[in-house]
Structure 1
Amino acid sequence: MAPSAVSQERHSCDALNRWLGEQLKQLVPASGLTVVDLEVEGTCVRFSPLTTAAGTRGEDVDQLAACIQSKLPVLTCTLQLREEFKQEVTGTAGLLYVDDPNWPGIGVVRYEHANDDKSSLKSDPEGEKIHAGLLKKLNELESDLTFKMGPEYKSMKSCIYIGMASDDIDVSELVETIAVTAREIEENSRLLENMTEVVRKGIQEAQVQLQKANEERLLEEGVLRQIPVVGSVLNWFSPVQASQKGRTFNLTAGSLESTEHTYVYKVQGSGVTPPQTPSGARTKQRLPGQKPFKRSLRGSDAVSETSSVSHIEDLEKMEHLSGGQDASEANSPERHPGAPTPPEAEQTGALQDRAQRLEDDRPQVEEPESLR
């Protein structure tokens, strides 16, 4: 094994042991555990009963052993999912896998936006804004995973750190959710910036058109109508038929439009239908109570559940049919206790006829003389 690979594996083991030691210290503080860094073995969790014998009891040791057993599946599951997470992130466009040996979780990922300078190691304000929104969206999903944002291991760019996995996680769904959510945040941010620029230009254009319309109105009315007293007299004798002209700003087209059709057709709309909002990531069908990023149940469980439901429905149908048959018999006219029902009488007659035909068709065998 190459020295770099050995060093990286040791750093990963040190991070996991450091996480385990911190967890055990919080869960069993009376055990007196300490996390030490040894030159050869690396990071270890030290339990020294002699130094903590005064405050440690037998129950504390049992609790410590139980906590270690409960944390081992978490460590095993996290180690198994690390390589799968790396492959999924590497194969997803727009995501960059960050190799941080000091992080004990599943892994670290960074979203590369359109204006991201990949050669720079300085902090990126736009990327930090996108990752902050991404972190908020991921925490709102209320999954069993923990997410945090921080700078990259070898640079100042923001990244998303994914914590330990306590159960079987659907890594492909996790990576897809991160990529789609980050892309939506970037697109919404650019849409807002473009809309702000469009509105600013629209306001400037509206001001120019209003000023031009005002100048045209002054030319049509003439100079005399602008004099206070003379203008009032002229307007009284010969009022000006001024047409109401307005402008409406269409955000979809990004242009100013006349409001003449609005005055003519008050009930009708502008005829412009706003575009539909993109739906984003495809929603995965989950069972009731299933948290995000969990793998689906096995097919046998689903089939057994479906078969049990169908069996219950069949029983309900049989009860319904039997209830209807009892009601029809109760409403039928009274019969003699020994008399069969019409269907039973027909069936009995048919059986008797068949037996008679079989008796007639059977060949007659003569008895031997010795038996006579």
Structure 2
Amino acid sequence: HLVHDLIHEDEEDNPSQQMQNVGEQGHMALLGHSLAAYISVLDRERLRKLTTRILSDTTLWLCKLFRYENGSAYFHEDDRDGLVRVCRLVINARYEEYASEGYAVLSAKQPVIYQSASCRPGLGQHLCNQLGLPLSSLCRVPCNTIFGSQHQMDVALLDKLIKEDTEAGKVPLLLIANAGTPGAGHTDKLGRLKDLCDQYNMWLHVEGVNLATLALGQVTSAVMAATRCDSMTLAPGQWLGLPAVTAVTLYRHEDPALSLAAGLTSSQPVEKLRALPLWLSLQYLGHDGIVQTISSLVKHDSPVVLFKFSQETSLCKQLAHLVPISGVDVVELEDEGICLRFSPLLTAAILGTQQKDIEELVEKLTELVPIMSSTMCLRQDFREETYRHSPWLRYIEDFCWPGLGAVRFEPRAEGMDEYRRKQELEKMNAELLKKLQDLDTDIIFSTGPEAGTEDGCIFVGMVTEDVDVSDLVDTIAALGRDIEESGRLLENMTEVVRKGILEAELQLQKANEEKLMEEGMLRQLPLVGSVLNWFSPVQSSIKGRTFNLAAACCTQITTRRNLKCKPKQSSGLRRINYCGSDRVFCHFNVLLELFNLVMSLKHHRTKRLALR
């Protein structure tokens, strides 16, 4: 119960969180983790035999499944750890004295690791950090910009870079290539890259989602060339929907001593148990089940589909949240900008995506594209109309907002310091936003994104083509001026009451002095005055006073015109109506000061000052 509460304690705040879909094969993988803990308590000899069998079987199945003959396997939790161990293996192989002298041998001939510009971010830096190499040992190879795909490594330029490093006394060590780039899913020219690596005695490592297609009956020649590489990293758990299953790096090397030195093999039986969840899952699915699962997710040569909405990148993010279970996410590419990516091999098994979810996504796209198009067409009109109401309205530029735009009402700030002006601005825009949200309209008004926005902004959502942008901006400006005038009216009323109270106090003091002069000192004593007034009443000549609050403030009330936003009849957008009316505003401070005045008059026991 404690663990259950910890898992679900944030569901109220984040109801859209997606949990991994756990099918029967997923439960088999989870069972493997429990069995691994149980098996680890067996006696050493029995444990050694069992783990050796599990490791050898899993390695054999994976090599056969992904067409990688005579390979060895390293199972690792971090999907980058296999590449780190492979780099250590290559360093040990290329630098014979590395085992005895360590990094001192690298200073004379600096090793160089080459990676594509389309590799996943931070991979090269992670390698250098783990291997203790300077960042100068990392060479980023640009992709083609004229010939071929803009996401494939430029082989000719790579050849040139290797020659330059060799002439400079450096050691070309390893090349990282892609069979499915993280963003666009493109595959490098692996065959040509392998020939180049053989020429310069370099190690070729391949990774990417397209490696999953090696298990299919028909494989493209571009991906099939990956079977010639020296090592590859696979993610079967992600492709098959197996929770907490390790990544696998397949590699070929003849010297087991160097593999042991690099950490690719271990003599500890417990570490070999990492393969047990995958061992169980592969047996449960079988060869046909694995092929069927992958083939159902790959309908074309590339399992990654990219698309974008025209040239407007800020609207793409809206689509990624329509059907979260579809696995559509947002990626940013150097040449294309922000795009939407659908990569079922990375998400479908985990989220449990079905055909109906894809159909729902297409339906949502069909509904949203027209309103997105109309919003794009009207954004410039909205900007211009906002500038027309300057200086009351200010247009706020926000390229990440998918709606019509963002504005801010800026009141006049005569005699205000910066801190008070900022407070007044936020207060008035918050009140303006509330009034806009209360309007009878389908347009959504909000505070916009949580991060990266200015204070006191009002964001207008997407609109249909028949919205009258001019009337919409007029309504926003009129409501803002109405709020500003109401605030100034309250300030004026408060000032009038303050002056009236001060004048009343002076009149009261003067009346007390006149009363003292007219009636004498004896009549002011409590007991004596009562007796004298009973025997000899006094007719006072002092007149009363009147303080008319309504007369002092009514000149501040203004009449406001009706504002309407009239859409065409073809739209589902309801009319925006705002009708102003004459009204007198009451304020708590005014009432409080009037109450204090009445109590003061009562305290002085006089009825000569009247308050209406």
Relative to structure 1, the CA distance from residue 174 to residue 209 in structure 2 (aligned partners, 3 Å threshold; closer, same or farther) is same
SS of 1:46 mapped into structure 2: strand
What one-letter code is carried by the residue in structure 1 that aligns with 2:512?
N
* RMSD between aligned residues: 3.6
Instruction: State whether structure 2 residue 396 is matched by structure 1 residue 92.
Output: no
Check whether the contact 1:169–1:293 (CA below 8 A) recurs between aligned residues.
no
Alignment partner, residue 45 of structure 1 = 340
SS of 1:37 mapped into structure 2: strand
Q: Give the drift of 1:84.
A: 0.9
Check whether the contact 2:395–2:407 (CA below 8 A) recurs between aligned residues.
yes
- 5+ residue gaps, structure 2, are 1-308, 578-612
Query: What is the aligned counterpart of 1:21 among 320, 324, 337?
Result: 320
What one-letter code is carried by the residue in structure 1 that aligns with 2:499?
K
Alignment of 1:224-235 (within 5 A): 224-228=522-526, 230-235=528-533
Q: 1-side partners of 2:543 and 2:426: how far apart? A: 46
Please report the TM-score for the alignment, with normalisation by the length of structure 2: 0.39
Q: Give the drift of 1:167.
A: 5.0
Q: 1-side partners of 2:372 and 2:432: how far apart? A: 26
The structure with the larger Rg is 1
Query: What is the aligned counterpart of 1:143 among 418, 436, 441?
Result: 441
Q: Give the drift of 1:211.
A: 1.4
Deviations 1:52-79 (A, max 9, x none): 4542332222222111111101110100
Q: 1-side partners of 2:549 and 2:315: how far apart? A: 53
Alignment partner, residue 6 of structure 1 = none
Q: 1-side partners of 2:527 and 2:382: how far apart? A: 83
Q: 2-side partners of 1:167 and 1:102: how far apart? A: 21
Query: What is the aligned counterpart of 1:218 among 497, 516, 523?
Result: 516
Q: 2-side partners of 1:38 and 1:285: how far apart? A: 40
SS of 1:158 mapped into structure 2: coil
Alignment of 1:79-118 (within 5 A): 79-93=376-390, 94-115=392-413
Counting matched residue pairs gives 263
SS of 2:406 mapped into structure 1: strand
Q: 1-side partners of 2:453 and 2:368: how far apart? A: 32
Q: Give the drift of 1:132.
A: 0.8
Please report the TM-score for the alignment, with normalisation by the length of structure 1: 0.62
Relative to structure 1, the CA distance from residue 184 to residue 22 in structure 2 (aligned partners, 3 Å threshold; closer, same or farther) is same
SS of 1:13 mapped into structure 2: coil
Check whether the contact 1:12–1:103 (CA below 8 A) recurs between aligned residues.
no
Q: Give the drift of 1:152.
A: 12
Q: Give the drift of 1:95.
A: 1.6
Relative to structure 1, the CA distance from residue 150 to residue 238 in structure 2 (aligned partners, 3 Å threshold; closer, same or farther) is farther
Alignment partner, residue 282 of structure 1 = 562
Identity of aligned residues (%): 49
What one-letter code is carried by the residue in structure 2 that aligns with 1:199?
V
SS of 2:312 mapped into structure 1: helix
- 5+ residue gaps, structure 1, are 1-9, 256-273, 295-372
Q: 2-side partners of 1:203 and 1:90: how far apart? A: 44
Q: 1-side partners of 2:503 and 2:426: how far apart? A: 35
Alignment partner, residue 44 of structure 2 = none
Alignment partner, residue 292 of structure 1 = 575
Q: 2-side partners of 1:242 and 1:113: how far apart? A: 53
Instruction: State whether structure 2 residue 423 is matched by structure 1 residue 128.
Output: no
Relative to structure 1, the CA distance from residue 185 to residue 152 in structure 2 (aligned partners, 3 Å threshold; closer, same or farther) is farther
SS of 2:321 mapped into structure 1: helix
What one-letter code is carried by the residue in structure 1 that aligns with 2:321?
E
SS of 1:109 mapped into structure 2: strand
Deviations 1:222-270 (A, max 9, x none): 1232345543443233211236743332224549xxxxxxxxxxxxxxx
What one-letter code is carried by the residue in structure 1 that aligns with 2:312?
C
Query: What is the aligned counterpart of 1:176 among 471, 474, 483?
Result: 474
Check whether the contact 2:371–2:464 (CA below 8 A) recurs between aligned residues.
yes
